[in-house]
Structure 1
Amino acid sequence: MAGQPEAGAGAGDGGTEGTEGTEDVSDLFRAVGRQIRTARERAGLSQKELGQRVGYGEEQISSVERGRRTPQPEFLATVDELLECGGLLAVAAEDVERAKARRRVRHPEWFRDFAALEAQAVELCYFANQAVPGLFQTESYARSVFASRQPFFDEESIEQRVTARLARQELLIRWPPPTVSAIVQEAVLRQPFGGPKIQREQLECLVKVARLRHVEIQVMPTLSEDHAGMGGPFTLLEIKGRPRMAYLEVQHTSRLITDPEDVRVLAAKYGSIRGQALTTRESLRLIETMLGDL
């Protein structure tokens, strides 16, 4: 499969959100977000303060309040109790669950095959040496990625792609979740992409994601004398009952790989890169050190 991947997709996901059956859902999410914002402001809390109390980042709270990120039922119940909403938000969780089932993200034709497979994956492995994998990107980082694309996207296209990317991240919180591992080049994390504030938010997000039980993040150090990933980024995915597959995106070309020998070579390469990278604990400490230096 070949096509025109979006800038910095990091395993694809640059599609636009479909309009069929989604407007009512978006309106609902925006309405719930306004209710959360009103309750938060009434309680005298900033987005950062609310996030700290419920285990969310400031940007995540902002995304939920603007209707960009799906408000999860557990989040709504917790916020309802914390902000003394009298059950208003907890009841809305039922409507949100029904709306989630109706909401679809429509990807470009070149990406749809992979998107359908990814949604079924029980295991995902990423090697990223250009940008943070799309599955882990914050809203601001994703917007910077799409804004830097050449040729340029217009503002509407950027917003559509950011929304689609955030929707894709629900893969991390579904049940049961897929097993996810990622190896990220150190230089990617040190680059102040979008500015220092966005870099800090992205690193903070990676620290939180790395602590999820089903996610492992490793950093390939710049000073490593060995590097089996010089051929560029790639993704491995596995669906229950089917052979492992791979996906490539580079310089306006995308390809879904199903040939067993080609997939075997990439899987072996991933194993080598993983052995050359820092351990998960070492990687977490390095990211935390980067945060302390900002």
Structure 2
Amino acid sequence: MAVEADESGWEVDPDDEWGVAVITTVGRQLKLRREAAGMRAGDFGVAVGYGEDLVYKVEGGKRIPRQEYLDRADEVLDAGGLISAAWEDVKKVRYPKKVRELGKLEAKAVEIAVYQCNSINGLLQTPDHARAVIGAAQPPYSPDDVDRMVAARIARRTVFERSPAPALSFVLEEGVVRRPIGSTIVWREQLERLLEVGRLHNVVLQVMPMDCDTHSGTDGTIELLKFEDGSAVGRSDGAFGGRPTSDPKHLRILELRYGTIRAQALSPRESLAFIEQLLGET
């Protein structure tokens, strides 16, 4: 009997209207099919390998079902793949709402520019590096929450597979690139990933050297996304309350700050050479 009835990370966020609608619909269909098959919730739970409490939570739209739960339910109810197919909708709301919204913006952007001062940007992280970063949080996340967040972060990397390819620019602090988060193997794989991405024709990757005593990014992360219709959105930890903004005046300020940061950072060629040097030292 599986024991995930009280695991965190699979609950439905009540503020996520789309997520609630999808999970409620899937749960209702599961309940209707179970009842049509003449099965009690307890018996169905035994058949699929989960507790009765979890069955009620899934059917009541209070719990996001795992893919294996849907696959097993499909077999037990002889649904011919219709229940299993629901995973295509469920997996879209599996990730937190904020991550999905960010992913949607990144999927539409023709230009993405990011300065990151305290960590390697999520778009650049390897799965193991992301796991080490998320797993270091205090208070710690549950293993299931970590899995969910890592999967959501890695899913955003599809931005590198888009055609036509967007123009991507990243500036990372030297201290962040030097910090060996996770094991030596994890760190080496992360450095190799930076080199791989930095060599893409549509990516500019730069490192801000530690001997640059001050620059306009010391307040924190800066993000700028531009879209095909000419619109844009930006955010900075140290400006406008840290909230996303599309105000032209605010965007000009962020563009000025980001442009200054890029000018003070190592050139793309120097940055890749620096990362190669670090890799050689490990």
**Shorter-normalised TM range:** 0.5 to 0.7
Structure ranking higher on relative contact order (CA contacts 8 Å, 6+ apart): 1
Aligned twin of 1:207: 195
Deviation by residue 1:57-80 (Cα, 9 ceiling, x = unmatched): xxxxxxxxxxxxxxxxxxxxxxxx
Rounded to whole Å, the distance in 1 between the matches of 2:242 and 2:67 is 30
Aligned twin of 1:32: none
8 Å CA contact 1:247, 1:256 repeated in 2: yes
Distance change >3 Å, CA 156–CA 101, structure 1 → 2: closer
TM-score, normalising length: structure 2: 0.65
Rounded to whole Å, the distance in 2 between the matches of 1:173 and 1:102 is 23
Counterpart of 2:133 (choices 145, 149, 154) is 145
Aligned twin of 1:42: none
Counterpart of 1:23 (choices 54, 61, 67) is 67
Aligned twin of 2:77: none
TM-score, normalising length: structure 1: 0.63
Percent identity over the alignment? Answer: 36
Counterpart of 1:288 (choices 263, 271, 276) is 276
Rounded to whole Å, the distance in 2 between the matches of 1:196 and 1:110 is 31
**Displacement of 1:109 after TM fit?**
3.6
- Opposite residue 67 of structure 2, the aligned amino acid is E
Count of matched residue pairs = 204
Aligned twin of 2:158: 170
8 Å CA contact 1:105, 1:167 repeated in 2: no
Counterpart of 1:122 (choices 110, 121, 124) is 110
Aligned twin of 1:135: 123
- Opposite residue 142 of structure 1, the aligned amino acid is A
**Displacement of 1:157 after TM fit?**
0.7
Aligned twin of 1:181: 169
Aligned twin of 1:241: 229
How do 1:1-150 and structure 2 match up within 5 A? 23=67, 104=92, 106-150=94-138
Aligned twin of 1:275: 263
Partner SS for 2:187: helix
Distance change >3 Å, CA 260–CA 113, structure 1 → 2: farther
- Structure 1 runs not aligned, ≥5 long: 1-15, 28-98
Deviation by residue 1:197-253 (Cα, 9 ceiling, x = unmatched): 211110011011111111110000011234221111121001111322113469xx9
**Displacement of 1:100 after TM fit?**
8.3
- Opposite residue 263 of structure 1, the aligned amino acid is L
**Displacement of 1:275 after TM fit?**
0.2
Rounded to whole Å, the distance in 1 between the matches of 2:118 and 2:262 is 17
Rounded to whole Å, the distance in 2 between the matches of 1:264 and 1:271 is 10
Distance change >3 Å, CA 113–CA 166, structure 1 → 2: closer
8 Å CA contact 2:209, 2:266 repeated in 1: yes
Rounded to whole Å, the distance in 2 between the matches of 1:180 and 1:152 is 32
Partner SS for 2:120: coil
- Opposite residue 114 of structure 1, the aligned amino acid is L
Deviation by residue 1:10-65 (Cα, 9 ceiling, x = unmatched): xxxxxx9x9779838x98xxxxxxxxxxxxxxxxxxxxxxxxxxxxxxxxxxxxxx
Rounded to whole Å, the distance in 2 between the matches of 1:275 and 1:101 is 44
Rounded to whole Å, the distance in 2 between the matches of 1:212 and 1:260 is 30
**Displacement of 1:259 after TM fit?**
1.7
**Displacement of 1:106 after TM fit?**
4.4
- Please say which structure displays the higher CA radius of gyration: 2
Distance change >3 Å, CA 22–CA 143, structure 1 → 2: same
- Opposite residue 246 of structure 2, the aligned amino acid is T
Partner SS for 1:257: coil
After superposition, the CA RMSD in angstroms is 2.8
- Opposite residue 23 of structure 1, the aligned amino acid is Q
How do 1:224-239 and structure 2 match up within 5 A? 224-239=212-227
Rounded to whole Å, the distance in 2 between the matches of 1:120 and 1:203 is 27
Deviation by residue 1:120-178 (Cα, 9 ceiling, x = unmatched): 11110010111111001001000011101122210001001111111110111121121
- Opposite residue 139 of structure 2, the aligned amino acid is P
Aligned twin of 1:160: 148
- Which stretch shifts more, 182-191 or 108-117? 108-117
Distance change >3 Å, CA 255–CA 109, structure 1 → 2: farther
Distance change >3 Å, CA 248–CA 150, structure 1 → 2: farther
Rounded to whole Å, the distance in 1 between the matches of 2:107 and 2:253 is 24
